[in-house]
Structure 1
Amino acid sequence: MAGVLRAVLCVAGAALSVYALHVEHQAAKDPSYRAACDLGPSVSCTRVFSSRWGRGLGLVEPVLGGDSALNVPNGAIGLLFYLLQGLLGPCHGRAAAGGAVGDLGGLGCWRRCGSGRFCSSASGTCAWCASAPTGLTWRCWGST
């Protein structure tokens, strides 16, 4: 049950993050753009997403400047957060920690095959991959 709830919340959070990116992009293209979340002049998500608080959580610009590569839209930060929550949520202990701070080869329950392709197990346990091709597909097996 907790896994289903986590998945639903991650999908909802990722969708809202994508919507925030969409609103910011549209507002940059068309200054008269009005998003569905704009309830009035004093309650406007478009104004917030387009302000300095809508990028880098409002903290990057004062420290590193507005042109810093780390000054990304909050929607992008949210999207990354919810994707990592969805990928690492089913994993426990070292697998999740390795994915959070390690290289792509240890990303949560994903394992990098020798071919550079990634495999995953559906059970939530980490799978080891084999790089033996069978036609155009790659096979994963085993668990840790």
Structure 2
Amino acid sequence: MAAVGVRLRKLRMVSAIICVLGLILSFYAYYVEMEKEHNKNYKALCDISDHMSCSTVFTSKYGRGFGLLSYIVGSDSQLNIPNSLFGIVFYILQMALGQSTNPFLTKVEISSAFVSNLGSLYLAYILYFILHDFCVLCVSTYVVNALLLACACYKLGKLQAVRLKQEKKEE
């Protein structure tokens, strides 16, 4: 039982590190987008070539509100925010949920990570098939999102194993 507790602590630490990485990527994406909006000549570190350009992706219509909110609230609306801000909120939420050992909150963590992975698939489709670009930062966040989902699922499995052991002990 103690070994499971140690594994859960390590898993929570790994999850937090992954969230911090996601936050760093999201903050940098936001920085690149803001710099590009203010200076059209700005070249980000992730702008490697014409078809490997983060700033091209971030400043496209899909870089704000996932390319969908503009149809609902208008492209000039304050609600049509950069995707990176959604990422920042998501990673903070995941970090908080990732520290919990409550099975219900872990299910919420899995659900939000699952939705983020659906968003990653959608944005990957846009990136490859519509924008014909490769964004190192974007793909990195897709990997981070997949890792967070894997960590959350693994944590739920460990929590359920602990609960089953406790139930057997009580019998």
- Give the TM interval when normalised to the shorter protein: 0.5 to 0.7
> What is the deviation of 1:55?
0.4
AA aligned opposite 2:31: H
* Greater helix share, structure number: 2
Identity %: 38
What SS class does the counterpart of residue 48 from structure 2 fall into?
coil
Cα deviation code 1:43-67 (max 9, x no counterpart): 2100110111100111111232112
What SS class does the counterpart of residue 28 from structure 1 fall into?
helix
2:34 is the alignment partner of 1:32: no
Cα deviation code 1:15-46 (max 9, x no counterpart): 00000000001101110000011111122100
2:32 is the alignment partner of 1:23: yes
Show structure 2 runs of 5+ residues with no match.
1-9, 110-171
2:65 is the alignment partner of 1:56: yes
Mapping of 1:63-142 within 5 angstroms? 63-93=72-102, 96=105
AA aligned opposite 1:82: Y
Show structure 1 runs of 5+ residues with no match.
101-144
Cα deviation code 1:83-125 (max 9, x no counterpart): 011112222448849x99xxxxxxxxxxxxxxxxxxxxxxxxx
The partner residue of 2:15 within 6, 10, 15 is 6
Q: Which moved more, 1:48-57 or 1:65-74?
A: 65-74
- Tell me, in whole angstroms, the C-alpha distance in 2 between the residues paired with 1:92 and 1:67: 41
* Greater strand share, structure number: 1
- Tell me, in whole angstroms, the C-alpha distance in 2 between the residues paired with 1:69 and 1:33: 24
- Tell me, in whole angstroms, the C-alpha distance in 1 between the residues paired with 2:53 and 2:47: 4
Structure with the greater relative contact order (CA < 8 A, sep ≥ 6): 1 or 2? 2
AA aligned opposite 1:74: N
Superposed CA RMSD: 2.2
State the number of aligned residues: 99
Q: TM-score, normalised by structure 2?
A: 0.53
> What is the deviation of 1:82?
0.2
Q: TM-score, normalised by structure 1?
A: 0.62
Q: Which moved more, 1:54-63 or 1:13-22?
A: 54-63
